[in-house]
Structure formats: C-alpha cells, structure tokens
C-alpha cells in the first residue's frame, strides 16, 4: 500500500514506518477493510486510513479489495484524487473489531454523498451452498424488490427474494444451494411488480463462496449496472 507522510502519536520519539498496519494506538490485532466507489459523478477517489492510502485510487465501480489494517477506532477519509478534503466527514472514524471484514461504500451523487459501513460475513457457508447479500447503492432507483433466481426463471412464477430494499440499504446474506445450479441471476424490479430496472445476467458461483451484489447507477446516466464483491473464497 502506498504510504503518505506518517502522523506522530503522542509520546512517540520516532516515526514508525507505515506498511500493512495503519495508525497510532488502538487495537493490536488485525482486521480487513475494503472500500467501493459507488458515486456515479464524483470521479476518481482515494481511501485514506490513519493518513495512509488504502489500496489504489478508485474509479467509479472499483474497490480496493480487502486491505489488512489495525483493529480499533481508525481515522478514515475518502478524498478526491489531488485533494485532502474528506468527502465523507460523517464517517471520519471507523471502528473495526479484530478478525472482522468491513466494507465502506461511498454512495450517492457528489452533492449528497454518504458512507455505508457494512459488516461482511467471513464464515464459510454449509457444503454445496453460497451466501449472497444485495446492496441497493443506485440513488436513482429508490426502493426495489430483488429476485435471486436460476437463469431462465419467469419472475411472475416466483416471489421476490427480498422485498422493498431501500436505497443505501444492504440485505442480510441469503443462503442458496449450488446443488442443481452454479449460476444465479439477480433482478432489481419495481416494488410489487416484475418491471425490471436491472438484470445482472447469469453469475457463476462456486460452493463455499460469500458474495455481495451491489446495484449501481449507470455511468454517465446509462443503464443501471452492478458490482460483485468477493467476501469469501
């Protein structure tokens, strides 16, 4: 990870180089943090923890992947590249328990950004199953119903997997079998109908995986799109 100028801790007599474990004080055990840029009009940003860059700069739809840092309360910012202004001042700190995985999603348009802090599931699902979580991070969508179905399923023949998923909201993980199919398709529809805003197309999974599917605005006002985050395996 690229390091910025390290900050001094109170009482320290020397600077400690910043490598994979960020920050002064706080927890002594490791945790992992991932950041996704889900703002369709903000541009390229850099996540910063305790004054050090977390992974690479992020274009729209990109994420840092899991980065190992110190647990505890960490100073946190997302900055437009070339600036030092925190775009998420309400998320200036994040509290991270040891041994956990956390995702921060910068959602919304540039005029109304917000940070979604999600606790990820790093527990392996039962044999021949997967866990899938869905996030509505598309500001133009509003609330949606979500269908997670095998490809070729007629939506009118089934009930929604998730109902009335609001914008800037994440579902719980849904456990799905991989016994008869390794592919699922995710539909975001108008609440109460099968009118489809977003169809991910078939997504291939393997037994034992945990995944997060994030619904997004299309870049430059185009069709809705999505990002898949690898939570486990």
Give me the number of domains the chain comprises.
Answer: 2
pLDDT in tens, 57-84: 999 999 999 999 999 999 999 999 999 9
Q: Which of the four pLDDT bands, split at 50, 70 and 90, describes residue 222?
A: confident
Q: Is the pLDDT of residue 16 over 90?
A: no
Q: How does residue 114 score in pLDDT terms, banded at 50, 70 and 90?
A: very high
Same-domain pairing of 64 and 148? no
Q: 119, 142, 161: which is the final residue of a domain?
A: 119
Domain end among 71, 87, 119 = 119
pLDDT at 125 over 80: yes
Residue with tokens 């690479």: 56
34-44: average pLDDT: 97
Helix, strand or coil, per DSSP, at residue 219: helix
Distance, in Å, from the CA atom of 165 to the CA atom of 69, rounded to the nearest integer, reads: 31
Identify the CATH number of the domain in which residue 67 sits: 2.60.40
The CA-based angle 126-117-98, given to 5 degrees, is 65
- Both 160 and 106 in one domain: the answer is no
Write out pLDDT tens, residues 189-198. Answer: 999 999 999 9
Does residue 142 register a pLDDT over 80? yes
Local confidence band at 22 (pLDDT 50, 70, 90 cut-offs): very low
pLDDT tens digits for range 152-190: 999 999 999 999 999 999 999 999 999 877 999 999 999
Residues 76/35, Cβ–Cβ less than 8 Å: no
Report the pLDDT averaged over residues 91-104.
Answer: 96
**Which among 71, 86, 119 is the end of a domain?**
119
Query: Which tokens sit at 104?
Result: 């921060």
Same structural domain for residues 146 and 196?
A: yes
DSSP-derived secondary structure letter, 220: G
Same domain, 223 and 165: yes
User: Could you tell me the residue range of the domain that residue 172 belongs to?
Assistant: 129-232
Average pLDDT over residues 92-119: 97
Question: Do 102 and 162 sit in the same domain of this protein?
Answer: no
115 and 133 assigned to the same domain: no
């Amino acid at each position: 990870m690229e390091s910025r100028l390290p900050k001094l801790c109170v009482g320290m007599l020397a600077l400690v180089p910043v490598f994979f474990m960020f920050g002064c004080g706080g927890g002594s055990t490791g945790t992992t943090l991932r950041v996704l840029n889900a703002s369709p009009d903000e541009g390229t940003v850099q996540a910063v923890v305790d004054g050090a860059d977390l992974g690479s700069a992020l274009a729209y739809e990109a994420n840092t992947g899991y980065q190992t840092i110190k647990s505890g309360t960490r100073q946190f910012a997302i900055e437009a590249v070339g600036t030092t202004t925190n775009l998420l001042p309400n998320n200036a700190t994040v509290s991270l328990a040891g041994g956990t995985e956390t995702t921060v999603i910068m959602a919304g348009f540039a005029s109304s950004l917000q940070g979604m802090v999600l606790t990820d599931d790093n527990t392996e699902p039962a044999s021949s199953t997967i866990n899938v979580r869905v996030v509505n991070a598309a500001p133009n969508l509003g609330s949606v119903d979500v269908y997670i179905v095998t490809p070729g399923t007629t939506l009118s023949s089934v009930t929604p997997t998730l109902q009335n998923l609001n914008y800037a909201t994440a579902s719980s993980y849904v456990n799905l079998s991989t016994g008869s199919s390794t592919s699922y398709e995710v539909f975001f529809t108008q609440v109460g109908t099968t009118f489809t805003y977003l169809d991910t197309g078939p997504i291939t999974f393997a037994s034992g995986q945990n995944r997060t599917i994030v619904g997004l605005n299309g870049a430059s006002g185009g069709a809705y799109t999505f990002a898949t985050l690898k939570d486990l395996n």
